[in-house]
Each structure stands twice: as structure tokens, then as C-alpha cells.
Structure 1
């Protein structure tokens, strides 16, 4: 009986995640191909707008000789983190009535959204690379293994913070607005538009504990062979993401019965 129940549980879990993903896709994409284009174009337009503005103003890249590449190497990791951590949280608020079904837990909603955001980010990056190649912008990283390691750390960071945000928002929906402000602060301070190692030592001592900045610095060391960050601690975004993931899952298990009360 135990041997047959495990595949059944896995099948049920798979069906729940699949149903939640399809529901989120239809809701967010408005059930049409135009909705899909909007979902992809929105984050892509953010990145391209920053690139166009800085290029039009004639600004030089803080590092390297390509402002589009510099902006992209900062904006892509930030996009992955911010979209995951924010939309996972919002999915809890949007799908809260589904928690009344006994087979659906808040973690199902969170993980379903996480998978969607990872796929969306992958599509956005592919489109961005194609646009850069069409424009003749060199996009090949110096060390692809480092780039993929940084992306993994960024996904883990977004997943952990997203789950923690989702649990907080389940009890305090106003946190969704508060976190939007946090995202703005993180954007300004994450090193997208500046070289953190060039800042005064006092500023570096504060920013060294910025997990998103650490992920971006890690990502850039994979793209620029001569990018030597004095702040980079590759273990930090991994540890931060894992800790947030553990705290979020632990809180969900402890407060599972109180979320709907």
C-alpha cells in the first residue's frame, strides 16, 4: 500500500502544480497571445529603456566599453530576483480563495508561480540576447560557468525571499505595497549603474551585505574577465537565499492552520 500511495501523492502534487500554473498563466496573460507578449515585453522594455536612455545621453559604461552590456549584466539578475520575489508574493493574494481546497497549500501556489517566473525570465533573456546580436552587441560571457552559477544563486535568492514574502503577505496584505518600495531601494543600491568597488570604503562595508548586489557582482565576473570585485562573496547570496527559503517554509508549516483564519 505504501509503494502505491507514493506515486499517487506525486501524481496529485504534479496535477495541482500544473493546474495552478495554467490558472496563473491564463490570468496574467489575459487568456490571449497578446497577453503573453505583454508579459514578455514589460520586463524587456524596462531593460531596453535604460540602455537607450544612457546611450542617447552619451554616457560611458562604468566598466568595459559597452553601456548596453553593462546595464544588461546588472538588470538581468535584478529582474530575475525582483520578479520572482514580488510575483510569488502577489500570487498568494490573488489565489487566496484556492487555499480552501484541502489539496492546495500556500507552498503549491508559491512554487507554481516560481516556475512560471523562471520560464518567463528565460524567455526575456533569450529575446534580449537576440536583440543585442541583431544590433551587433557582443554578448558572449568570458566564463559561462560563472554566469550560470550566478543565475542559480539569483533564482535561489528570489525563491527564498518570494516564499518569505508570500507568508508575510498572507497575514499582512499591505506588505505587497511595502515591498514595492523595497524593490525601488534595492534597484538604486544594487550596483546596476555603478561599480561598487569604486565606492568609498564605508559605503562598501554597508553594501557588502546586499544580497542582490552580490548576485550582480558574481554575474559580472562571469562576463568580464578583468572585473575584480572587492565586495564579492559568492557564498553570501546562496546562504541568504537558503536561509530565507528555510524560514519561509518553516513559517508556512508553523502557521499553516492560521493563514485562513
Structure 2
């Protein structure tokens, strides 16, 4: 009877979930110097990053191109980009930092990657809730005009981060220095993401090139949920979703192709 339970679909799913939960708990504990407060730090780290960037940009005296609040304007760009950034970076480090766990037959490479993805989704949700409370306390209305589209924009950026993260995790497992290279790439991504400027205000040739950047599309999507008519000439939601799905499937196919070598 016990053997039948273990090989049943329910038993397999339950065992798989236990592996994921164990990996998530281990990730939270080891990511921040082995402290028991790992989950609070997993929330506090991106939250502090977002708040510092908001304060810096809001205090530079720049008028908000849309709306009356510079803080809200920058938040609508910073939050989706940081969701993409943290998702891709922490998943990228997953295989390299947890390679000894692959010696256990029940732990698969995809378990490590998806466990980290779940942690990042939960962390992003809590960070946004805390930012909402902070904005409410400061008298800033953080609620979007279209909350459904704002949610889709955030999820699409995390899907894109998952795809980028899986591909980079495979590369970093073979070439650890690639983590530094990707961190440097993220600086370029930040500068070209549309957080600090309005793409529609640029010359036509610049808009055409920037429209090919999927992470910029995510920022435009989020802001379109806050500002009526924003990004109408450049926003392509299908393009962003296509990038997310394509990068994820490419990463999973690459993992399948090199799985044997990584386990050696």
C-alpha cells in the first residue's frame, strides 16, 4: 500500500512539493549569511533598494512627466524593473550556489530554479504591499486606474526575469564569471528601461529601437495602468509575453541538453 502511494500521481506531486518547500526554506536561510531572519531580509533587501532609488530620484527636483507625484512616477517604473532584476539575478545564481544538492536523487536542477522563482514571487508581492502602505501613509494614491493590467505587467516582468534567469543560470554554472558580466549588463538595462525618461518623447528612430527591449515594454505596460493613454504608440504586450515564454522554454531546453554534464 505504501509503495502504491509513493508511485501514485498524488504521492509524486506531494513529494515534489516537499522538495520545493525544503529548497525554498534553505534558500531563505542561506541567502543572507545563514540568518534565521532570511525571509524578512529577502523582503527588506529589494524594498530598501526601491525606496532608496525613489528618494534619490524624487529629490532631484524633476517634475513628473505624468500626474502630480514624482514618487509615483518613478515607482511605476522602478517596481516592475526590480521585479525582473531580482528574479533573473537570484535564479541565475541558483545552480552554482546549490550544486552540492544535486547529489541527492530527489533534487533536480529545475527544482532549484523554480523554488527560487516562488520565493521571488512571494517576496515581490509583499514588497508591493509594503510600498502601498508607505505611500498611503504619505498621502500618495498608489492604486492604479486598472489594477488588472498593473498585475499582468508585474507578472509579465517576473516571467521575463524567470526566462532570463534560467538561461543565465545554465551559462553561469559553466562560466561563473558570467554572473559579473550579467550584473554589468543590468546597468545598461536600467539606463535603457524607460524608468528615467518617456520613450514616446524621443525621436522616432529612438522609439523604434527602444521598442525592441522587452523590459522597457514591461515598464510601459505598468505605467499604462496608471496613466490614461500612456505608451499607446510603443506598448506591445504580446511582444513582452512572447519574450518571456521564449526565454523560459529556451532555458529549459538548454538545461535538458546539458543536464548530464552539470551533474558530473
TM range (shorter): over 0.9
Q: After TM superposition, where is structure 1 displaced by more than 6 Å over at least 4 residues in a row?
A: none
Tell me the distance in 2 between the aligned counterparts of 1:39 and 1:18: 16
1:49 to 48, 52, 57: 52
Matched, 1:201 2:204: yes
More displaced stretch, 67-76 vs 150-159:
150-159
Matched, 1:169 2:184: no
Give 1:150 deviation, angstroms: 1.0
Give 1:228 deviation, angstroms: 3.7
Q: Secondary structure at the match of 1:223?
A: coil
The answer to whether the Cα contact below 8 Å between 2:5 and 2:11 also exists between their aligned partners in 1 is no
Matched, 1:113 2:121: no
> 1:96-153 CA deviation, whole Å, 9 max, x = no partner?
1111212211111000000001111111111111110000011111111111121221
Give 1:227 deviation, angstroms: 1.6
2:239 to 224, 236, 239: 236
The answer to whether the Cα contact below 8 Å between 1:160 and 1:245 also exists between their aligned partners in 2 is yes
Matched, 1:32 2:36: yes
The answer to whether the Cα contact below 8 Å between 1:92 and 1:170 also exists between their aligned partners in 2 is yes
- Which residue in 1 is equivalent to 2:77? 74
Tell me the distance in 2 between the aligned counterparts of 1:55 and 1:153: 26
1:96 to 89, 99, 114: 99
2:251 to 230, 248, 251: 248
Tell me the distance in 1 between the aligned counterparts of 2:98 and 2:56: 37
Give 1:4 deviation, angstroms: 4.7
Tell me the distance in 2 between the aligned counterparts of 1:98 and 1:126: 33
TM-score (norm 1): 0.94
Tell me the distance in 1 between the aligned counterparts of 2:144 and 2:230: 12
Matched, 1:11 2:21: no
User: Structure 1 stretches of 5 or more lacking a match?
Assistant: none
> 1:28-83 CA deviation, whole Å, 9 max, x = no partner?
243333x4443322222222222222332321112222110011100110111010
Matched, 1:139 2:142: yes
The answer to whether the Cα contact below 8 Å between 1:141 and 1:223 also exists between their aligned partners in 2 is yes
The two structures, once aligned, show a CA RMSD in angstroms of 1.7
User: Structure 2 stretches of 5 or more lacking a match?
Assistant: none
The answer to whether the Cα contact below 8 Å between 1:93 and 1:173 also exists between their aligned partners in 2 is yes
Tell me the distance in 1 between the aligned counterparts of 2:200 and 2:165: 28
Give the length in aligned residue pairs.
260
The answer to whether the Cα contact below 8 Å between 1:62 and 1:193 also exists between their aligned partners in 2 is no
> 1:143-171 CA deviation, whole Å, 9 max, x = no partner?
11111121221121111111111111112
- Which residue in 1 is equivalent to 2:63? 60
2:131 to 128, 132, 136: 128
Tell me the distance in 2 between the aligned counterparts of 1:55 and 1:121: 22
Matched, 1:223 2:226: yes
